[in-house]
Amino acid sequence: MTVILSGCSANEVIRVGTPFEDDDTEGVKFNDEITDDEAITSLRTIIDNSNQIDKPNNKHEPDAFFQLNRPDDSVIEIRRYIWFQDDGSAVLFDGGSNYSTLTKQQTLELKNILNL
């Protein structure tokens, strides 16, 4: 008997949370998990189409955080801190040294994907 597996990939989960800083402790309190394939595909498209920028002067904690995990592979594929801007756009930070910006439309779509 032959078994054909097609379209199988590692489970993917978007974890959404709120960054916090207490005394000397920084972290993220996760409050949502999204497994919808369409949402995951849209998230990747938004990240791929974001525009790289120099480090901005963010004076406050990020407004939100998300990461795209592949738990079956023990991999965090994408992780970003988010600062929402007054003009409707957003600034993203990967936690290393890369910053990018999203347009107002991309930001609205990201908020919808992440249920923010």
pLDDT in tens, 11-61: 999 999 999 988 888 899 999 999 999 999 999 999 999 999 999 987 788
Contact 32, 16 (CB under 8 A): yes
Would the pLDDT of 3 be above 90? no
Q: List Cβ neighbours of 46 (8 Å cut-off, separation of 6 or more).
A: 102, 106, 109, 110, 113
Which residues, 6 or more positions from 54, have their beta carbon under 8 angstroms from its beta carbon? 99
Domains of the chain in start order, with CATH, are 13-114 (2.60.40.4400)
